Structure 1
Amino acid sequence: MRKVLIIGAGRSASSLIRYMIDHAPSEDWRLTVADKDIAHVRSVIGQGSEVAEAVAFDATDGSLRARLIEAHDLVISMLPPSLHLGVVRDCLRIGRHAITPSYVPDEMWSLDAEAKTRGLVLLNELGLDPGIDHMSAMRILDRIRAEGGRMMAFESYCGGLIAPESDTNPWGYKFTWNPRNVVLAGQGGMARYIKDGEYKYVPYHKLFQRTVRIAVPHYGAYDGYANRDSLRYRRHYGLDEVPTLVRGTLRKAGFCTAWDVFVQLGCTDDSFIMELPKNATWQDFLMAFLPHDVERGPRENLAHYLGLDPKGEIMAKLEWLGLFGRGRIQDPQRSPAAILQSLLEEKWQLLPGDRDMVVMWHRFRYTVDDRQLELQASLVSEGESEQHTAMSRTVGLPVAIAAKLVLNGQIAQRGVLMPIAEEIYAPVLHELEDLGIRFLEEELEA
């Protein structure tokens, strides 16, 4: 019997847990799911209690974490990204394989040599983005190279969105994953990419103004903004000499220009605690970021300050959120980002019957025998339910399939890994296709 520890049972873990429970009898697995909310874990496990055990877990309790890791053969961390490193370090010290869906921090790359020496798989970036984006890109890049193609440009965008029939608010957006990550998106560094041989750098305060329009077959147009660091993937993808490489995030058309209001005002700042009165309203929150103007009300003040159309779509989106109203803020003694997040969690929540949607789009431009070609690959996946969302499926299922590969000894590589080798991406993508997660490809003359 192989024992698997899943740490974290949040929004993105439900489909992972269901897959592992469904396959446990045939694969001879025993599962432990550890989370701070044990009642939630039990509800997610449901009828799978014969093969899965719920355990209360405190991420700050290092001794408990070590004991749990030591009792299992493979550890899957679905914790917030900042907590993965402690889990992986324990796995390395104790001698256990580990998988995370998140980006590899620099500190984790430093564990690579020791992991190789100890014969361990420390597999990361195996969710949706990062994850399916890497695997689908590498499958096509390897195919183009095998055909003698020379890459000229690679662009890749992904977004967690809402299915058309559930798109019921002016923003065209609802939370399907960690709300904090959405509110803080784009912070923490300069967005960097290369376009037609020119390096481009976009600071946070300009990020949501520098968007491109992406047309996804059968689903319409979206706005894309650049991710923080596209350049780090040139080496991983074998695209060191490519003139154009951009990775970015998709939002419904019009979202970014409205979100930019919060960025320009400072409402997404998470670095300080606001000193608002205990009975502060949402109008008070907004006015705290506007110039003092006794002649203008909050609507007129905002429109004048940022040059907005007082009767335009952006103002309508802000009005819908209630920012000009007298609704009370539950806890105004927080950072601007945390206060804004509390409002959005109320307004952008998935309602009963809502379904989310993930959209991923790649464009490859390359030459073969003096012919200039373009290949577009798009993935659109809609959620099953509020629990088994498209985000949960596309993040959790690649992790689950990779866990099966590791446990069955089907991954020869050792060390700190990304899913860019064929021995990983081929079987994972193949099974995802069997589960209904597949790309539509279209090749054009450029």
Structure 2
Amino acid sequence: MKIILLFGAGKSATVLIKYLLGKAPKMDWKLVVADADETLVNQKLAGHPKGTALGLDVKNEVARQEAIAQANLVISLLPPHLHILVAKDCLKCHKHLFTASYLDKEVELLQQEIQNKGLLFLYEMGLDPGIDHMSAMALLDRIGSRGGKVKSFISHCGGLVAPQSDNNPWHYKISWNPANVVAAGKQGAIYKQQNQIVELPYEQVFGQERTVAIDNAGILAWYPNRNSIPYISLYQLEETSTFIRTTLRHPAFISGWKKLIELGLTQDEPVTSFSTTSSSEILVKLLASSKQNEVFQKWMLHDSLFAIQASAIGLTNNSYQMKRRDYSPATFLQELLEQYLVMKELDQDRVIMQHEIIYHLMNKEYSLISTLVLDGKNATETAMAKTVGLPLAIAAELFLENKIELIGLHRPLSPLFYQQILPALENEGVCFSEKETTISTN
């Protein structure tokens, strides 16, 4: 029997757990799910005979290493800053590691040791990053095999709310880690546009409205996602004039979020102790600290959309009592978002991904657009959980069947990954549609 150890049973784990348990009896697997909330784990395992719940504080080194030592494959859906703990233990215990999170510099330092020990550490195997890599490389390799030269590559991705569940002025509901929603864009953004490297500080990431048309989804806004530059060489697109990876939101969200940033409500400091539990009273104190009260009041009077948005997340009323005493602006905002932009039981989220490629081939210029629009089933089986969890689950299945025979530190960029995983995703309803047109003839 092979043991799969999953760290983390949060929002993104639901479909992953369901898929692996569905395969476990036939494949003779045991799935151990470790999380600080053992009750949550038991809910997701639902008494399945091949599932075991493990109540575990991931910072408990002894318990963590003991669990890892018994596994054949470790999957981590922990918050990104905790992956390194698991990674180092996997090295120590000679265990393979898969995760949906970005490959960071701390893990890159372990690359030689991973290789020397004959292990596979597979990073960025989720939605974005993950499905974006595989679907993009399938397109780019196809263009390259025909002799095409890519001039522009823009990749959009976003987790949104499906239209049938869209009933708030932010046009957004939380389907993934709410802390990451608040932290979005804080690293700033770097991308290549018309052969120029563009660097934006955090304050400018949401600073202007940039829009894109999505078939069957309408006009959406986008903002540049982190640092696109390292992916230019990974995608072998050094000669392309434009390369941008983005995040999609509704235009109204971008408009309102930009104002929350200007008000200082996404900042991690300072942490203040408050004597009141009233959200509006805490807001007044936070805005006084950042000297933004006057700006807030002006927007409330003269920007009708923002006034509605502020009310919709509890900034101007006292109907919700805050749960804690100590807040930074960011944790204050996060708690309100979790309260007011929560998905109800039957709500559906929506994941959208779109690659826009312009390329030259035989004296002609072409536009190739590949689009994924996927709605979730409900607040538990979300499109976000499906598109983050399924790539990991399918990769785990292929690996344990000896169909991914690699060692070292990898992202899913090669045909070995996309030729097997994209068809498997299609079988699960994660499908792209393509539209190709001729732009010009030279």
Shorter chain as denominator, the TM-score bin is over 0.9
Per-residue displacement from partner, 1:345-395 (whole Å, max 9, x unpaired)?
A: 110001121111111111011100111111001101111222111111000
Q: Say yes or no: does 1:26 pair with 2:26.
A: yes
Instruction: Tell me: CA distance 1:291–1:38, structure 2 relative to 1, closer, same or farther (3 Å).
Output: closer
Aligned residue for 1:226? 224
Q: CA deviation at 1:290?
A: 5.3
Gaps of 5+ in 1: none
Of 328-337 and 382-391, deviating more is 328-337
State the alpha-carbon separation in 2 of the partners of residues 279 and 325 from structure 1. 12
Q: Say yes or no: does 1:405 pair with 2:403.
A: no
State the alpha-carbon separation in 1 of the partners of residues 277 and 433 from structure 2. 52
State the alpha-carbon separation in 1 of the partners of residues 277 and 188 from structure 2. 37
One of 250, 253, 259 as aligned partner of 2:251: 253
Give 1:102-251 correspondences, 5 Å limit: 102-187=101-186, 189-251=187-249
Aligned residue for 2:306? 314
Instruction: Tell me: CA distance 1:207–1:396, structure 2 relative to 1, closer, same or farther (3 Å).
Output: same
One of 342, 347, 354 as aligned partner of 2:340: 347
Aligned residue for 1:356? 349
State the alpha-carbon separation in 1 of the partners of residues 326 and 366 from structure 2. 55
SS in 1 for 2:393: helix
* AA aligned opposite 1:418: R
Task: State how many pairs are aligned.
Answer: 438
SS in 2 for 1:289: helix
Q: CA deviation at 1:206?
A: 1.3
State the alpha-carbon separation in 2 of the partners of residues 57 and 132 from structure 1. 30
* AA aligned opposite 1:216: I
State the alpha-carbon separation in 2 of the partners of residues 166 and 124 from structure 1. 32
Q: CA deviation at 1:280?
A: 4.5
* AA aligned opposite 2:427: D
Give the TM-score, by structure 1 length.
0.94
Aligned residue for 2:55? 56
SS in 1 for 2:11: coil
Q: CA deviation at 1:210?
A: 2.9
Q: Say yes or no: does 1:436 pair with 2:434.
A: no
SS in 2 for 1:108: helix
* AA aligned opposite 2:313: L
Q: Say yes or no: does 1:323 pair with 2:318.
A: no
Q: CA deviation at 1:288?
A: 3.4
Give 1:359-398 correspondences, 5 Å limit: 359-398=352-391
Q: CA deviation at 1:320?
A: 2.4
State the alpha-carbon separation in 2 of the partners of residues 342 and 292 from structure 1. 19
Give the TM-score, by structure 2 length.
0.95
State the alpha-carbon separation in 1 of the partners of residues 425 and 176 from structure 2. 20
Identity of aligned residues (%): 37
Instruction: Tell me: CA distance 1:255–1:421, structure 2 relative to 1, closer, same or farther (3 Å).
Output: same
* AA aligned opposite 2:387: T
Contact 1:265–1:290 (Cα < 8 Å) also in 2: no
Aligned residue for 1:39? 39
Aligned residue for 1:423? 416
Per-residue displacement from partner, 1:229-267 (whole Å, max 9, x unpaired)?
A: 000101111112211000010001211111111100101
Contact 1:290–1:302 (Cα < 8 Å) also in 2: no
State the alpha-carbon separation in 1 of the partners of residues 243 and 80 from structure 2. 25
* AA aligned opposite 2:53: A
Contact 1:190–1:202 (Cα < 8 Å) also in 2: yes
SS in 2 for 1:159: strand
State the alpha-carbon separation in 2 of the partners of residues 281 and 123 from structure 1. 42
Per-residue displacement from partner, 1:29-70 (whole Å, max 9, x unpaired)?
A: 11111111111111101141x111111111111111111111
Per-residue displacement from partner, 1:88-127 (whole Å, max 9, x unpaired)?
A: 1111121111100000011111222221221111001000
One of 286, 289, 297 as aligned partner of 2:287: 289
State the alpha-carbon separation in 2 of the partners of residues 286 and 301 from structure 1. 12
Aligned residue for 2:268? 270
State the alpha-carbon separation in 1 of the partners of residues 67 and 219 from structure 2. 46
Aligned residue for 1:83? 82
Per-residue displacement from partner, 1:309-363 (whole Å, max 9, x unpaired)?
A: 6252122211222322344433242111001111111100011211111111110
Q: CA deviation at 1:4?
A: 0.8
Contact 2:156–2:355 (Cα < 8 Å) also in 1: yes
SS in 2 for 1:59: coil
Aligned residue for 1:335? 328
Contact 2:159–2:175 (Cα < 8 Å) also in 1: yes
Per-residue displacement from partner, 1:155-187 (whole Å, max 9, x unpaired)?
A: 011111111100011111000000000011111
State the alpha-carbon separation in 2 of the partners of residues 291 and 116 from structure 1. 51
SS in 1 for 2:52: strand
Of 310-319 and 169-178, deviating more is 310-319
Contact 1:161–1:357 (Cα < 8 Å) also in 2: yes
Contact 2:263–2:290 (Cα < 8 Å) also in 1: no
* AA aligned opposite 1:382: D
State the alpha-carbon separation in 2 of the partners of residues 133 and 357 from structure 1. 16
Contact 2:209–2:251 (Cα < 8 Å) also in 1: no
State the alpha-carbon separation in 2 of the partners of residues 292 and 84 from structure 1. 34
Gaps of 5+ in 2: none
Contact 1:290–1:301 (Cα < 8 Å) also in 2: no
Q: Say yes or no: does 1:8 pair with 2:8.
A: yes
Instruction: Tell me: CA distance 1:330–1:71, structure 2 relative to 1, closer, same or farther (3 Å).
Output: closer
Contact 2:264–2:290 (Cα < 8 Å) also in 1: no
* AA aligned opposite 1:289: L
Instruction: Tell me: CA distance 1:292–1:426, structure 2 relative to 1, closer, same or farther (3 Å).
Output: closer
SS in 2 for 1:12: helix
